[in-house]
Amino acid sequence: RFQACVYFASVFQAMSCGIHYLASVFMAVTPNFVCGFPGNVSSVLFHNSSASSIEDIWTLWTSAENYIVVQLENGEIWELDQCSRSKRELSLDLAYEYKGNKSVFPCSDGFLYDDTKWRSTVVTQWDLVCDREWLAKLIQPTFMLGVLIGAVIFGDIADRLGRQRIIWFTSAGQFVFGVAVAFTFDYYSFVVVRFLLAMVSSGYLVVAFVYVTEFVGIKARTWASMHVHAFFAMGIMVVALVGFLVRTWWVYQIFLSIATLPFVLCCWMLPETPFWLLSEERYEDAQKVIDTMARWNKVSTPCKVSELCSVQQDDLVSGRTGDDDMSSAKKHNILDLFCNWQIARRTITVWLIWFTGSLGYYVFSLSSVSLGGNEYLNLFLIGAVELPCYIIACVAMDKLGRRNTLIPFLILSALICVLIMFIPQDFNILIILANMAGKFSIGVAFGLIYLYTAELYPTIVRSLAVGSGSMMCRVGSVVAPFCVYLRSVWIFMPLVATVYFFQLLVGIMALLSGILTIMLPETLGKPLTNTLVEATEMGRKKKSCSEKIPPEHSGAALEKIEMFAQERISTDK
């Protein structure tokens, strides 16, 4: 009961991460537009259709190569293109085709936008078109850059200060910065505030995975960790729904930001994890949390940390006069992920999977709104398809293991990318279905790697390991928007870019699967490790007497607590 309440309270806020990560797909939409004109319009002409205002012409607009002819009240006739306008010389008749002399002028009177779908976007707010178009294309990559930095910073801080404090800070930060984005006064303040929002959103997601992993037992760890992604996917579905209902970007942003306000008001009630408290030798605080868990779960005889850790505490006391005290008090950093060959090889392999999974995940998600059909429905389906994928992933992970589930789904996603290239552009439904299948397969791999990483590393660097992996995956997510923007050059370019990286991944996995991937330890059903020595030994099948783990480095007490709690619950039942 206690773990369930803590779990659902924590993962509810993960919806906010999904919301902010994908909010720009509608907030930064570029609608149809043409140059503004100097004066009042009396007539408008578009091919063979005439109207009294430009608003009546937008329904006929089919291509960026089109232009609109307008006649002003003073008799002047202008041709309005997207990034320039031309004044016809010596022309008295209003006709669409004109081969006479024209004077070309820049768009000094601003732009006219099609507001039939969106009344306002950040593009129309600050005229991010033509020579300023590159600023609009930087909105999502700069956000993902903030995600990258936030993953490393908050992952490291969470290992030093605890998971609880970071949960508090990042939750409040998501709400404050999310609302602040709606009230930014120019493009640059908008990008800066969204960058800060990205940092706290990433920080929360990274720490939340570690938080729930350390709170739930072995039996529920797979399902609990994987379904954090399900709430992230629900956030994507919320983006599609709010985008369909609200068509003004700053109102849209406010509605998205207040979606998880209830959690912000009660997140201070979440406790610190016993794993982190024990790793910091705060045994009394750990006992208080365990006692609270026992009361909630109606366990009559809760375990005692003093009994379970007696051997460990004695060894720590006796070893404080020696050099081992320095290692126990050591502040860990990213170099500890390369402390020996086995851990370094593990880190490189994990980082590669993070990068490839992120690239495919965001290419499929961001490109869904430009596949044809209803863009809101497309994005909603892209989010909804993740929900069953995590159920299947959990079943496969529990039956086949983490490693044997990861490899085939990565290869399958690469094959689907190749398949999409051969589907004709006119087959929109088939393309959407293939895109959903690709998102399904990459979603399994991308969701699995969070849990797998948390299980591969010990408590003292677990948040740092997940944070650094998230950093590598954000490199892929920074590249992904640029792949999507290449649709302006060739509609299938994003898929070609994705296939390139997937082919690179498949090639590396095929070459090193027997050396690196297969040599990664299987973590299914195993307790979490507490020290780097234990994490190193986890990958070895045999241990000699000389390789026994020193008592002061052992995480056996943590394992005993977890197993003891399971036994107590079973006995009480």
Q: For 447-489, what is each residue's pLDDT tens digit? A: 788 778 888 888 788 878 877 877 777 777 777 666 655 555 5
> What CA–CA distance (Å, rounded) separates 164 from 309?
23
What confidence score (pLDDT) does residue 506 get?
41
- 480 CB burial (10 A radius; 0-12, 13-18, 19+): buried
Phi first, then psi, for residue 424 (nearest 5°) are -60, 150
**What is the pTM (predicted TM-score) of this model?**
0.76
Euclidean distance between the first and the last CA atom of the chain, given in angstroms as a whole number: 13
CA distances 490 to 140, 417, 420, 486, 496, Å, are 20, 15, 14, 6, 10
Encoding tokens for residue 431? Answer: 């393309």
- Cα angle 119, 124, 129; round to 5: 145
What confidence score (pLDDT) does residue 526 get?
79
Strand ranges (DSSP E) for 413-569? none
> What CA–CA distance (Å, rounded) separates 490 from 389?
30
Which neighbouring-strand residues pair with 360? none
Widest CA span of the chain, in angstroms? Answer: 100
Strand ranges (DSSP E) for 18-174? 33-35, 41-46, 49-51, 68-72, 77-80, 85-88, 102-105, 111-113
> What CA–CA distance (Å, rounded) separates 371 from 420?
11
297 contacts: CB under 8 Å, gap ≥ 6: 1, 2, 3, 569
What confidence score (pLDDT) does residue 408 get?
80
What confidence score (pLDDT) does residue 309 get?
64
Q: Following CA atoms 265, 269, 274, 279 in sequence, which dihedral angle do they give, to the nearest 10 degrees?
A: 60
Cβ atoms within 10 Å, residue 384: 17
What confidence score (pLDDT) does residue 200 get?
92
**3-state SS class at 126:** helix
Give the model confidence (pLDDT) of 129-158 as tens digits: 888 888 988 898 899 889 888 877 887 788
pLDDT below 70 — which residues of the chain? 52, 62-65, 91-92, 302, 307-331, 369-372, 425, 480-518, 539-573
Strand 68-72 to 85-88 pairing? unpaired
What confidence score (pLDDT) does residue 284 get?
84
Encoding tokens for residue 270? Answer: 């979440």
> What CA–CA distance (Å, rounded) separates 440 from 331?
39
What confidence score (pLDDT) does residue 491 get?
47
Domains of the chain as residue ranges with CATH: 1-31+121-270 (1.20.1250.20), 33-116 (no CATH), 336-538 (1.20.1250.20)
CA distances 253 to 179, 182, 201, 242, 437, Å, are 7, 6, 15, 9, 29
Q: Following CA atoms 84, 90, 92, 96 in sequence, which dihedral angle do they give, to the nearest 10 degrees?
A: -40
- Cβ–Cβ under 8 Å, residues 429 and 457: no
> What CA–CA distance (Å, rounded) separates 56 from 41?
13
What confidence score (pLDDT) does residue 91 get?
65
Element holding 160 (H helix, E strand): helix 139-161
Encoding tokens for residue 352? Answer: 């590669």
